[in-house]
Chain A
Amino acid sequence: MANANDILKRLNEVFRDVFDDDDIVVTPKTTADDIEDWDSIEHITLIGAVEDEFGMKFKMGEVSGMNNVGDMLKIIMARGK
């Protein structure tokens, strides 16, 4: 599996696509509060797009348990492609 930096780069692209905002820069500390349009509806879109990007699926508990991008990153590092 690639390192955290590469994953973060790819994640950043996904965020930019989903929120249609090329200025977004995510860090492991980024939370939904930091991105204006990141609400519960967009969260579903985001999860789907991240799953497609990394060829993996989040488990039900993980989807609701993620507190920030760092949590997402950890799961991707363990199971993503």
Chain B
Amino acid sequence: MKELEYPFDSSFIMKKKKALRRLLEEQEPAPAVTKRVAVLGGSTTADIVRVLELFLRNFGIAAKFYECEYNMFRQEALFPSQELSDFKPEIVWLHTGLRNLTFKPSPDMSAEQIADGLDAEVAGYVQMWESLHEKFGCAVVQNNFELPSSRLMGNNSGADPRGLVNFVGRLNLRLADEINAHSGVYLCDVNYLSAVCGLDEWSDPQYWYMYKYALNTRFIPDLCFEAAKVIKAVCGRNKKVLALDLDNTMWGGIVGDDGVENLAIGQETAEAMAFYQWQEYVKSLKNIGVLLTVCSKNEEENAIAGLEHPEGAVKPADFTLIKANWEPKSENLVNTAKELDLLSESIVLADDNPAEREIVRACGFSAPDIGEVWDYIRVIDRSGFFETVSLSADDLKRTEMYAENAKRKQAQSKFADYNDYLLSLEMNAEIAPFKPVYVERLAQLAGKSNQFNLTTKRFTESDMTHFMESQGYVTLYGKLADKFGDNGVVSEIIGRVDGREVHIELWLMSCRVLKRGMEYAMLDELVKAAKNVGADRLVGYYLPTAKNKMVEKFYGELGFTLTETHDDGATVWALSLDEHKESKNKAINVKRED
């Protein structure tokens, strides 16, 4: 819903939140996931919860909320109330800030006293995260601190360790270090946001005196949007592809009409510099694993010529796919999604033409109003399409991996027999129980895999660690490499041991390696692992979603027998381990750890 996408009108959202809530239910597709979110505040949170609900819903997340009593965040985090315990939060947002400081420096304190105060303040937060993690295994979203609106020592408050400005700066850095050191804790950067909104307005104290809000209520939507971006990223609902129009989006002018030499790009004019900076920003998105593609109405040779402009920052090789033709953009985007094995909802189009944006939006793609060239970076950046809550090694290699996949598709056409093709890939898999080094990736994969995912259960890093360490679970990850490159961790299975049965709680595979036989290799190892824990039967579940129809019959194909069918389409399957004799894996060489 456009009203809830950046750039949004905060006053409008505050005023119309009731209507927006109703319209979201009426107009938007059913939410993909449900999450239990506890908002534990050090100030009033009533409207914060209600506005957060809207943004999350717009990101495809139906949230159920728990809101603590006023300023009870610390008690709730350390000694949860019965209500919070019963609620079993999956995500906790600690909405705290400057008003909640337990220690403030003052000019009559020694450096030591202040250092101790800083340590204690940070330790207080770490203690809350660890308590929440231990009790609920939940993800934690933590605000950092806004700068103070008054400065006792003036400018020197920023330099002198006894100054509050200096203290808050150091506190925020220390908090960041601790967030980095704690898996499952994520920053909501209130310090940055309050600067963006303007500190004087943000911290207008009337809202504290009158209502005990820590911020000016007109910025509640801005705050909630930040938190919602972090939460949706934790839930694996980021976009993956930035599709780019070319003429007047990537450069000034129309390459087909004006000629490459007359395009505005480079350092010569104000306009050229603006486009150059934007191209640089676009290129840097590759570093956080965003795939770039072209979606432009152009002759392909003109498009390539423009991208090869010597003054430009991007080159044709930066793009995973280039669709430059005269077909409708929606069609080109649909094909882009297909060729990259991605869902259409994972694509964002940057296009200067409002009419084109309108059309592709109607087809389910994101296409923000990017404004003028000097706005492009801010709009794409602040929209948070690619909010990076954890940057894994795989993210850095993603462009390469997708390019390799495109090569594999070309290679495929040379073989008559599909198995010949698979053999030619020279595939090597590593399949073993979960290891700490992969926990981040395993949670990420569980958070975002939709299509080849039998149960679509979203597990966090802490859940993964629990399964890994618990005797009651059989876990397997699968890595797959071939002659074109390493795909990294692409599949995972979590089985709950129940007497002589192993119940498959999660089985998923990345769509990058569909139709490679990896699922057969995983089954072989699962059977072995199940035998090792003394089981004689596997029980598999298929829970239908809007996106996982491709695995509806998966267990049947593996030789499981259907045992139950439910009204909602869910099915239960079973396999006696002694029935699994011959491996269906013919093409993958499996390296085990034993």
Partners in one complex: yes
Residues of A that sit less than 8 Å from B by CB: 14, 17-20, 37, 41, 44-45, 48-49, 52, 60, 63-64
With a 10 A CB-CB cut-off, give which of A20, A37, A60 has the most chain B CB atoms. Answer: A20
Could you tell me which residues of chain B, from 44 to 86, have a CB within 8 Å of some CB in chain A?
46-47
User: Digit string of B460-501 for contact with A (CB within 8 Å is 1, else 0)?
Assistant: 000000000000000000000000000000000000000000
Instruction: Pick from B210-218, B253-261, B421-429 the stretch touching chain A.
Output: B210-218
**Docked complex Cα distance between A52 and B16 (Å):** 13
**Docked complex Cα distance between A41 and B14 (Å):** 12
- Residues of chain A with a CB closer than 8 A to B47's CB: 41, 44-45
Instruction: Say if the beta carbon of B100 comes within 8 Å of chain A.
Output: no
- Residues of chain A with a CB closer than 8 A to B213's CB: 44
Q: Are B19 and A20 in contact (CB under 8 A)?
A: yes
**Docked complex Cα distance between A18 and B17 (Å):** 7
- Residues of chain A with a CB closer than 8 A to B17's CB: 45
Could you tell me which residues of chain B, from 1 to 41, have a CB within 8 Å of some CB in chain A?
11, 14-19, 22
Q: Are A41 and B46 in contact (CB under 8 A)?
A: yes
A-B contact pairs, 30 of them (CB 8 A): A14-B15, A17-B15, A17-B19, A18-B15, A18-B16, A18-B18, A19-B18, A20-B16, A20-B19, A20-B22, A37-B18, A41-B47, A44-B47, A44-B211, A44-B213, A44-B217, A45-B15, A45-B17, A48-B11, A48-B14, A48-B217, A48-B218, A49-B11, A52-B11, A52-B15, A52-B218, A60-B209, A60-B210, A63-B210, A64-B210
**Docked complex Cα distance between A48 and B16 (Å):** 12
**Taking CB as reference atom, which chain A residue is nearest B218?**
A48
**Docked complex Cα distance between A9 and B218 (Å):** 23
Instruction: Say if the beta carbon of B206 comes within 8 Å of chain A.
Output: yes
Could you tell me which residues of chain B, from 191 to 216, have a CB within 8 Å of some CB in chain A?
206, 209-211, 213
- Residues of chain A with a CB closer than 8 A to B210's CB: 60, 63-64
The interface residues of chain B, by DSSP majority, are classed as helix
The interface residues of chain A, by DSSP majority, are classed as helix
Inter-chain pairs besides A20-B18, A52-B218, A60-B209, 11 sampled, C-beta below 8 Å: A17-B16, A18-B15, A18-B18, A20-B16, A44-B213, A45-B15, A48-B14, A48-B15, A52-B15, A60-B206, A64-B210
- Residues of chain B with a CB closer than 8 A to A17's CB: 15-16, 19
User: Digit string of B205-243 for contact with A (CB within 8 Å is 1, else 0)?
Assistant: 010011101000110000000000000000000000000
- Residues of chain B with a CB closer than 8 A to A20's CB: 16, 18-19, 22
**Docked complex Cα distance between A9 and B349 (Å):** 42
Q: Are A49 and B14 in contact (CB under 8 A)?
A: yes
Could you tell me which residues of chain B, from 319 to 352, have a CB within 8 Å of some CB in chain A?
none
Smallest beta-carbon distance A27→chain B, Å: 21
**Taking CB as reference atom, which chain B residue is nearest A57?**
B206
With a 10 A CB-CB cut-off, give which of A19, A41, A45 has the most chain B CB atoms. Answer: A45
Smallest beta-carbon distance A57→chain B, Å: 8
Interface size class of B (residues with CB under 8 A): 10 to 19
**Taking CB as reference atom, which chain A residue is nearest B213?**
A44
- Residues of chain B with a CB closer than 8 A to A18's CB: 15-16, 18
**Docked complex Cα distance between A45 and B535 (Å):** 59
- Residues of chain B with a CB closer than 8 A to A14's CB: 15
Smallest beta-carbon distance A59→chain B, Å: 9
- Residues of chain A with a CB closer than 8 A to B206's CB: 60
Q: Which 5 A-B pairs have the closest CB atoms?
A: A20-B18, A49-B15, A20-B19, A52-B11, A41-B46
Smallest beta-carbon distance A30→chain B, Å: 18
- Residues of chain B with a CB closer than 8 A to A64's CB: 210
**Taking CB as reference atom, which chain B residue is nearest A63?**
B210
Smallest beta-carbon distance A38→chain B, Å: 12
**Docked complex Cα distance between A52 and B216 (Å):** 13
**Taking CB as reference atom, which chain A residue is nearest B209?**
A60
**Docked complex Cα distance between A14 and B211 (Å):** 21
Smallest beta-carbon distance A47→chain B, Å: 9
**Docked complex Cα distance between A14 and B18 (Å):** 13
Smallest beta-carbon distance A13→chain B, Å: 10
- Residues of chain B with a CB closer than 8 A to A48's CB: 11, 14-15, 217-218
**Taking CB as reference atom, which chain B residue is nearest A41?**
B46
- Residues of chain B with a CB closer than 8 A to A60's CB: 206, 209-210
**Docked complex Cα distance between A63 and B211 (Å):** 10
Contact for B14 among A37, A45, A63, CB less than 8 A: A45
**Docked complex Cα distance between A44 and B45 (Å):** 12
- Residues of chain B with a CB closer than 8 A to A41's CB: 46-47
- Residues of chain A with a CB closer than 8 A to B217's CB: 44-45, 48
Smallest beta-carbon distance B257→chain A, Å: 45
- Residues of chain A with a CB closer than 8 A to B211's CB: 44
**Docked complex Cα distance between A64 and B211 (Å):** 10
**Taking CB as reference atom, which chain A residue is nearest B17?**
A45
Smallest beta-carbon distance B302→chain A, Å: 48
**Taking CB as reference atom, which chain A residue is nearest B16?**
A17
User: Digit string of B100-120 for contact with A (CB within 8 Å is 1, else 0)?
Assistant: 000000000000000000000
With a 10 A CB-CB cut-off, give which of A17, A19, A44 has the most chain B CB atoms. Answer: A44
Smallest beta-carbon distance B176→chain A, Å: 32
**Taking CB as reference atom, which chain A residue is nearest B21?**
A20
With a 10 A CB-CB cut-off, give which of A37, A41, A64 has the most chain B CB atoms. Answer: A41
Smallest beta-carbon distance A60→chain B, Å: 6
**Docked complex Cα distance between A50 and B76 (Å):** 36
**Docked complex Cα distance between A44 and B18 (Å):** 14
**Docked complex Cα distance between A60 and B342 (Å):** 53
**Docked complex Cα distance between A49 and B16 (Å):** 9
**Docked complex Cα distance between A41 and B237 (Å):** 31
- Residues of chain B with a CB closer than 8 A to A63's CB: 210
Smallest beta-carbon distance B47→chain A, Å: 7
**Docked complex Cα distance between A6 and B151 (Å):** 45
**Docked complex Cα distance between A24 and B14 (Å):** 19
Smallest beta-carbon distance B184→chain A, Å: 31
- Residues of chain A with a CB closer than 8 A to B11's CB: 48-49, 52
**Docked complex Cα distance between A49 and B220 (Å):** 13
**Docked complex Cα distance between A30 and B458 (Å):** 49
